[in-house]
């Protein structure tokens, strides 16, 4: 049975850091797949974009097609090894929030866990200001809070269309990281028995 753990969190929440540390500690062997990378590869193949931050600005129809293609590729990978899927519950597009997992996409991926990494809006804002590599949208603390609220709601709908359990992990500045990594490791370790 495929074992997919979806890990989400808005930009700047510390998702990549927690994931990297948890992978060093788990006894399970996961293939890390970045949903955005796969969509970007498909978009480049189709000659649609040259930078990954352009993907969310493509037409909704095109993004939906790319999403479904990416989901098929991820399903194939998960049939061979456990997958840790780094992605987003919702994506902020110029016209509104787009679901990261429309019904047909979540049904293909059928994750065991939907992990949401959260932090306080002020912590997220600070981390975004320190990470200038990315072409990130500038948001206020209120907007960040609303986006996190929306992501929880979206995740409920994904659990309805899959067997996923929802796990919320908080990543706070003061000693939050260690605890957050421990919680993710507990989930990843569950894949060990599935390998047999
Ligand atoms: P990231 O590098 O994780 O910030 O993701 C980069 C980009 O990939 C996002 O801005 C979206 O355009 C796209 N992306 C990632 N996950 C999804 C998804 N589940 N559905 C649609 N687009 C996604
Ligand atoms: Mg990231």
Show the beta-strand stretches assigned E in the chain.
Answer: 4-8, 31-34, 83-86, 90-93, 96-99, 113-118, 165-170
d(C-alpha 182, C-alpha 15), whole Å: 14
Long-range own/partner contacts, residues 46-49 (CB < 8 A, 24 or more apart): none
pLDDT in tens, the chain (196 residues): 899 999 999 999 999 999 999 999 999 999 999 999 999 999 999 999 999 989 989 999 999 999 999 999 999 999 999 999 999 999 988 889 999 999 999 999 999 999 999 999 999 999 888 877 666 668 899 999 999 999 999 999 999 999 999 999 999 987 789 999 999 999 999 999 776 5
CA atoms within 13 A on the CB side of 21: 14
For ligand 1, which residues put their CB under 6 angstroms from it?
11, 35-36, 39, 52, 55-56, 63, 67, 87-88, 91, 100
Token pair belonging to 87: 């992605």
Mutate to test the pocket of ligand 1, among 19, 38, 43, 55 (most ligand atoms within 8 A of CB): 55
CATH code of the region 4-195: 3.40.50.300
Torsion (CA) 175, 178, 180, 186 in degrees, nearest 10: -150
Q: What is the pTM of this model?
A: 0.93
């Amino acid at each position: 049975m495929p074992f997919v753990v979806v890990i989400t969190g808005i930009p700047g929440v510390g998702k990549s850091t927690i994931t990297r540390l948890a992978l060093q500690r788990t006894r399970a062997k996961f293939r890390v797949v970045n949903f955005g990378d796969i969509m970007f590869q498909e978009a480049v193949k189709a000659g649609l974009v040259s930078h990954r931050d352009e993907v969310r600005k493509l037409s909704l129809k095109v993004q939906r097609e790319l999403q479904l293609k990416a989901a098929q590729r991820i399903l194939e990978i998960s049939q061979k090894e456990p997958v840790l899927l780094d992605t987003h519950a919702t994506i902020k597009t110029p016209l509104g929030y787009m679901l990261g997992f429309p019904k047909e996409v979540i049904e293909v991926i059928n994750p065991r866990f939907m992990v949401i990494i959260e932090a306080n809006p002020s912590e997220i804002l600070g981390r975004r200001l320190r990470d200038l590599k990315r072409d990130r949208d500038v948001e206020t603390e209120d907007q960040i809070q609303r986006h996190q609220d929306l992501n929880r709601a979206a995740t409920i709908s994904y659990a309805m269309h899959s067997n996923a359990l929802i796990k919320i992990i908080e990543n706070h500045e003061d000693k939050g990281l260690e605890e957050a990594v421990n919680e993710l490791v507990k989930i990843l370790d569950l894949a060990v028995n599935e390998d047999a």
